Amino acid sequence: MNRRNFFYKGHLILWFVLTILTGILAGFLCSHSVMLGRYFTWLINSGNYSVFVDTFSVFRKATHANVHYNLFLWASLIIGFIWMVLCFILRKNRIVGIIAGLSSLWVGFVFFSSGFAKAEEAVCSGTADEALKNFFAAWNLPLHISFAVFYSICFFLLLLSGIRWSKNKSDV
Q: Is 2 part of any domain?
A: no
Residue 3 lies in a domain: no
Whether the Cβ atoms of residue 88 and residue 97 lie closer than 8 Å to each other = yes
1 within some domain: no
Range of the domain at 90: 8-167
The pLDDT, as a whole number, for residue 167 is 59
Per the structure, the count of domains in the chain is 1
Q: How far, in Å, CA of 166 to CA of 131, rounded?
A: 51
The residue that leads in pLDDT, 101 or 164, is 101
In a domain, 58, yes or no: yes
In a domain, 23, yes or no: yes
Residue at 46 is within a domain? yes
pLDDT, tens only, 36-80? 999 999 999 999 998 988 888 888 888 888 888 889 999 999 999
Does any domain span residue 143? yes
> Quick check: 172 pLDDT over 50?
no
Q: CB neighbours (10 Å) of residue 130?
A: 8
Residue 63 lies in a domain: yes
